[in-house]
Structure 1
């Protein structure tokens, strides 16, 4: 068996699997890490999840997700910050080192993208010390520009680094997700600049034509056009030695057997990422 020691299976890849089935799938495929999502953790129970992972010997590598900082309504912003603090507490309880942040899109009716990005920075300033005190790092994930209007005004790795650099590296880092940043002509310079700031490295492939539901356009490694091994080598060169998560949103993959998908993930990881 090739070295799977850095491999982590994000729960989003096997969305319909319950927590126990997801853990079993990882164990069967000899995948040592699991990327968690708050919703299935809450459904199964926070303490039960921690106990299950410890019993199985699985390492939780990240938690999705926090963020959504761009509401102009002051009461909603207070609620959003409180929810993010709760997410940090959940990570601390489970021993999850990184909380992945999706920053939020433009407020309804707004065209002020710079203003939305300013709200993201303000929220990070509120949360970073809280997270740092609890041993959790906030991980800013840039999303592909097609999601800028409704999901994430942070669209490049360079923008994410500009935000993260305002804070200590142990408090705020960045996510390098191949799906979202592969297209950027400055991506390799940005990865080099990200030394010491890479919180998570997530891989999948870009497939075309995109489905009608663009969110579900991620493919299994090797099914698309991303230079996955080149990007892995770049993050390695930048000093990142942490987990490599496979996170795929794809209806056909979701509809398949979770055990089979976990085994396919391990095989494709060896073939196209290592």
Structure 2
């Protein structure tokens, strides 16, 4: 597929792809490299605050495609602390102008997967009115099953869709991360089922071997995932929003950030559907 302005318009780079780079430097590199959107992480704001991060985004002509992260509803921290933090995450997303707050829902605990999923459902139910009030959409992100005990009890896209469908609310959708869902033999049907529910897309490749479960991700094209098929299927089922490259890998982090931005932009021009964000 030839390079197109529309493909560039859909590209966002997640701040985790430059995790060891100062936030201001990351934003400068994205703006200079022709990337129009970024996905901030809450612990990496310019000046440590959403307000100063928003000013920096505006100064560089950038927008926030989403904010990472909220969630952890399953009892890994006191319930009142989780509730306060998640409300703050919604407010920060609104401050940044980020339309999406991505939820890492929380791991399976000794009580078991079913109890964890019930806790996630209750947490979303409690948080959703606050998201509505601030015009922020919550995105349930399923994680690879290898991270069920550390990050999320939601481990398939089908599971995430069922959770979201139970609410049937316009401010709640799913985030599809290729690194977490590519392995599912029914993933294309799940993507089809997710039409009108997918509100965010993250892209990373699966390296062989994978040397670190969380931070062993590959740049698009360096692994075994058929990213073209996944992104094409997402477009065919109606997704026309931003596509965030989220590659957690120390080798990528040690590469000069301007080189990473240029490399990501080149790689994604060959992968992104041509449709401009809707």
Question: What CA RMSD, in Å, does the superposition of the two structures yield over aligned residues?
Answer: 1.4
Residues 84-233 of structure 1 aligned to structure 2 (within 5 Å): 84-107=86-109, 110-211=110-211, 213-233=212-232
Q: Kindly state the Cα deviation for residue 273 of structure 1 after the two structures are TM-superposed.
A: 3.9
1:17 equivalent to 2:21? Answer yes
SS of the aligned residue for 1:263 comes to: helix
User: Quick one: structure 1 residues 228 and 41, their matched pair in 2 at CA, closer, same or farther if it must change by over 3 Å?
Assistant: same
1:67 equivalent to 2:66? Answer no
TM-score by length of 1: 0.94
Q: Kindly state the Cα deviation for residue 183 of structure 1 after the two structures are TM-superposed.
A: 0.8
Report if the CA contact (8 A) 2:231-2:271 is conserved. no
Report if the CA contact (8 A) 2:36-2:62 is conserved. yes
Q: Kindly state the Cα deviation for residue 72 of structure 1 after the two structures are TM-superposed.
A: 7.2
- Looking at structure 2, the residues matched to 140 and 22 of structure 1 have their Cα atoms a distance apart, in angstroms, of 26
Report if the CA contact (8 A) 2:41-2:69 is conserved. yes
TM-score by length of 2: 0.93
Report if the CA contact (8 A) 1:32-1:58 is conserved. yes
- Structure 1: give runs of 5+ residues left out of the alignment: none
SS of the aligned residue for 2:223 comes to: coil
* Equivalent residue, structure 1, for 2:260: 261
Report if the CA contact (8 A) 1:169-1:196 is conserved. no
Report if the CA contact (8 A) 1:210-1:217 is conserved. yes
SS of the aligned residue for 1:174 comes to: strand
Q: Kindly state the Cα deviation for residue 239 of structure 1 after the two structures are TM-superposed.
A: 1.0
1:2 equivalent to 2:4? Answer yes
Report if the CA contact (8 A) 1:169-1:197 is conserved. no
- Looking at structure 1, the residues matched to 73 and 142 of structure 2 have their Cα atoms a distance apart, in angstroms, of 14
SS of the aligned residue for 1:176 comes to: strand
Report if the CA contact (8 A) 1:19-1:44 is conserved. no
SS of the aligned residue for 2:166 comes to: coil
Which of these residues, 52, 66, 78, is aligned with residue 56 of structure 2? 52
The count of residues paired between Structure 1 and Structure 2 equals: 269
* Equivalent residue, structure 1, for 2:240: 241
SS of the aligned residue for 2:167 comes to: coil
- Looking at structure 2, the residues matched to 129 and 168 of structure 1 have their Cα atoms a distance apart, in angstroms, of 14
- Structure 2: give runs of 5+ residues left out of the alignment: 274-278
Q: Deviations over 1:156-214 (max 9, x none)?
A: 00111111112244221100100000111111111111121111111110001111x32
Deviates more, 1:171-180 or 1:34-43: 34-43
Report if the CA contact (8 A) 1:38-1:63 is conserved. yes
SS of the aligned residue for 2:40 comes to: strand
Deviates more, 1:262-271 or 1:50-59: 50-59
Q: Kindly state the Cα deviation for residue 24 of structure 1 after the two structures are TM-superposed.
A: 1.0
SS of the aligned residue for 1:24 comes to: helix
